[in-house]
Amino acid sequence: SAKYRPFPQVNLPDRQWPSRTLTAPPRWLSTDLRDGNQSIIDPMDRAKKNRFFDLLVDIGVKEIEVGFPAAGETEFDFISWLVQSGRVPDDVVVQVLTQSRADLIKRSFESLEGAREAIVHLYNAVSPAWRDIVFRMTRAEVKQIAIDGARLLVDEAAKRPGTKWHFQYSPETFSTAELDFSLEVCEAVMQVVGPSAEWPIILNLPATVEASTPNVYADQIEYFCRNLPNREAAVISLHTHNDRGTGVAAAELGMMAGADRVEGCLFGNGERTGNCCLVTLALNLYTQGIDPGLDFSDIDRVIETVEYCNELPVHQRHPYGGELVFTAFSGSHQDAIKKGFEANEVQNDPQWRVPYLPIDPADLGRSYEAVIRVNSQSGKGGFAWVLQQDQGLRLPKRMQAHFSRHVQAMADDLGRELNAADIWNCFRHAYYLE
């Protein structure tokens, strides 16, 4: 099927509204192996991390946070093994996270020994609650932690000229901190690192705990982008969490507010309610006609690997991926979908205009059988479509009405939904074909 067909958008009365739209994908960073991994009951072992890493590479993720090397031996060993194994493709860059403490920073660099290219991600929390309650530190002391960490990044990198180094700094708890203070700390880090347009620093601005409506986060991002001196020497990155259920929305608005990059996890894994779901965000772009640069054309394989590695199920109603999202049980929906598919086939429409389905399931490797499911509530459109696809049978309208009584009786008797084979059996019995 044709790719990136947009689902029809709202009719714009004039060019003023909506004020902004998404026009291009961000740079993607997967933190499945770090934020995702630190949030699951049984953290992944090397085999699982490796399998997940390969999946991310296959999907097309080019920046992958592979862990927190100073957190423990399993993390350190995996990272060190990975970078030395030659398994990191030339166009993929690994990233590791470290708190701003000398011993942890040094250990992080050790884990990357032999890497061709790597991002070292430094963070410390900057918001008042963390300063006052967790650390009991003044603003100046918190800023100094970031400066000292940045200095050590520069020094440790200089000792290892064989690796192409990049630095990322996160003012953790950014979204609940005073904006001018976050700017002040980030500027101080930039002064130490000395980034340029050719060698930018990544400034990652987390909604560590999602605390406001997504537009507020976007306003914070916009203010930050506008007021950061030397903006061209920074890649502005978003790292949203989903505590209010709006992690994806916050990332979308943050992109429109000027950010360049998004961090997240497949199917929204991550601490507590998770990070921004990269699948949802990428396919939201797709359904607006934008190539997200990530390949979900075999979404079932992605789900299988993610469920296996995280030992968490993907919810049946999860956008795009859930088992039930391309199904319709209600008769009127089934009828509309059937008409949409038929119209779409003949028209070869540049838009994807099948009612009730925001995307062609075939673009995600899903088959028609998964689209329309038949149970006792279903109308004629559903089973007629399944029979047509499965057996090539087009039932005349009056016959559909007649046959629907048999289908509903069978669904009631069995007490479950009917698959294509059930419907064909039902048809053969009803019309004495055997």
Distance CA 247, CA 251 (A): 6
User: Rule CB under 6 A: which of 91-150 touch ligand KIV?
Assistant: 97, 123
**Residues 356 and 11 sit within 8 Å (Cβ to Cβ):** no
What values do phi and psi take at 116, rounded to 5? -75, -45
To which H or E segment does residue 203 belong?
strand 201-207
User: Could you write out the DSSP letters of every residue in 107-160?
Assistant: HHHHHTTT-SEEEEEEEEE-SHHIIIIII---HHHHHHHHHHHHHHHHHHHHT-
Q: How far is the CB of 207 from Zn ion (least distance, A)?
A: 9
Select 32 or 35, whichever has its Cβ closest to Zn ion: 35
Q: How far is the CB of 379 from Zn ion (least distance, A)?
A: 45
Taking CB under 6 A as the rule, does residue 170 contact ligand KIV? Answer: yes
Residue among 84, 53, 104 at smallest CA distance from 306: 53
Number of residues in contact with Zn ion under rule CB under 5 A: 1
Q: How far is the CB of 170 from ligand KIV (least distance, A)?
A: 4
Q: How many other CB atoms are found less than 10 A from the CB of residue 130?
A: 18
Among 208, 242, 280, 378, binds ligand KIV (CB under 6 A): 208
Asked if residue 35 belongs to a known ligand binding site, the reply is: yes
Asked if residue 215 belongs to a known ligand binding site, the reply is: no
Among the candidate windows 82-90, 178-186, 200-208, 309-317, which touches ligand KIV by CB under 6 A? 200-208
Question: Which burial class, exposed, middle or buried, applies to 86 when counting CB atoms under 10 A from its CB (0-12, 13-18, 19+)?
Answer: exposed
Taking CB under 5 A as the rule, does residue 172 contact Zn ion? Answer: no
Among the candidate windows 32-40, 178-186, 316-324, 413-421, which touches Zn ion by CB under 5 A? 32-40
**Residues 109 and 157 sit within 8 Å (Cβ to Cβ):** yes
Taking CB under 5 A as the rule, does residue 263 contact Zn ion? Answer: no
Taking CB under 5 A as the rule, does residue 35 contact Zn ion? Answer: yes
Q: How far is the CB of 99 from ligand KIV (least distance, A)?
A: 9
Number of residues in contact with ligand KIV under rule CB under 6 A: 10
Question: Which burial class, exposed, middle or buried, applies to 219 when counting CB atoms under 10 A from its CB (0-12, 13-18, 19+)?
Answer: middle
Among 5, 239, 261, 380, binds ligand KIV (CB under 6 A): 239
Among 69, 195, 200, 206, binds ligand KIV (CB under 6 A): 206
Residue among 213, 221, 222 at smallest CA distance from 247: 213
Taking CB under 6 A as the rule, does residue 167 contact ligand KIV? Answer: no
Q: Which residues bind to ligand KIV, rule: CB under 6 A?
A: 35, 97, 123, 170, 172, 204, 206, 208, 239, 241
Annotated binding site for Mg(2+): 35, 239, 241, 275
Q: Which residues bind Zn ion (CB under 5 A)?
A: 35
